[in-house]
Amino acid sequence: MNHIGVIGSGTMGRGIAYQAALSGYDVILQDISKEAIEQAKNYIHDLAAKSAEKGYIKSDQQELIHSNLVYTTDISVAVKEADVVIEAVLEKMDLKIEIFKQVNEFAPAHAILATNTSTMSPTEIGATTKHPEKFVAMHFFNPVHRMKLIEIIRGMDTSDETVKIIKSVAERMGKESVEVNEFPGFVTSRMNCIIGNEAMNMLMEGVASAEDIDKAIKLGLNHPMGPLEMADLVGLDSRLRNMEYLYYHLGEKYRPSPLLTKYVKSGRFGRKSGQGIYDYSAERS
């Protein structure tokens, strides 16, 4: 397993591509947008340069990242020689299914297909592919190059061999993995969403300021990041989609906070838009 195609060059896709290239895989990163591909390329170059400067990677590893990465807007180019295809597009079921219909046209029969989803059903997506036994969910965490875990989620038809291969891919990428049987939200998203949603409700109710809610969770419960900071990092629009999915499948306790809905309607999506629960405009200037 030496060739990986990554579909989607947003925050997660470019992070996965960076880590895979650093781990010695030949990687092709694809997006339909030329602008998005150019942004991803610049991000990866900057990340590699800063990581080398700070001593996190060596200069030869920096060169390895660049030599192992190809960028394209053509999905057929991205997957035609892939041993593993990892999709990292928006958390929209229809979009993911459409992506894998295209992947099925061009990927080799032996390829393992994986969706980087934090909540959605690999069984449902895999059922639309030619080989559902070779379909799995790989839930990476942001930022990919720092976070140690990959959740590996079995669909109903996912084979033991597929799980074994994906575990080896995760290990080669320097990650720990946990194996999860499919259920909405898996392990981490189910917990993270409900904590973040309760933090937003407390902010809405005036229990404490955003800063003090986050500080209480970090210092009192030893979380590395506060739940409101985390929501801004994930993207409030992405968090809302996740909450709506979990609310639909798991019921009332996952009803999205009205404050979350309000922020998304206002266009405040978090770090990526420059403003969310917190203001990041100074970082973008």
Given pLDDT bands bounded at 50, 70 and 90, which one contains residue 284? low
pLDDT cut 70: percent of the chain above it: 99
The pLDDT assigned to 129 comes to 94
Compute the average pLDDT of residues 2-14: 95
pLDDT, one tens digit per residue, over 146-166 is 999 999 999 999 999 999 999
103-110 average pLDDT score? 95
**How far is C-alpha 241 from the chain's CA centre?**
14
For residue 1, the model assigns a pLDDT of 81
Q: What is the pLDDT of residue 282?
A: 82
Residue 185 clears pLDDT 70, i.e. is over it: yes
- pLDDT classification of 184: cutoffs 50, 70, 90: confident
8: left (phi over 0), alpha (psi -120 to 50) or beta: left
Give the tens place of pLDDT for each residue, 50-62: 999 999 999 999 9
> In this structure, how many other beta carbons lie within 10 angstroms of the beta carbon of residue 282?
7
Residues 6+ apart with CB under 8 A from 244: 256
- 3-class DSSP assignment, residue 46: helix
Confidence band for 108, pLDDT divided at 50, 70 and 90: very high
Q: Helix crossing, 59-68 with 11-22: angle to 10°?
A: 120
Is the CA virtual torsion 203, 144, 87, 33 positive or negative? Answer: positive
Exposed, middle or buried by CB within 10 Å (0-12, 13-18, 19+), for 203?
Answer: buried
pLDDT at residue 69 in the model: 97
Q: Which residues contact 230 (CB under 8 A, 6 or more apart)?
A: 192, 196
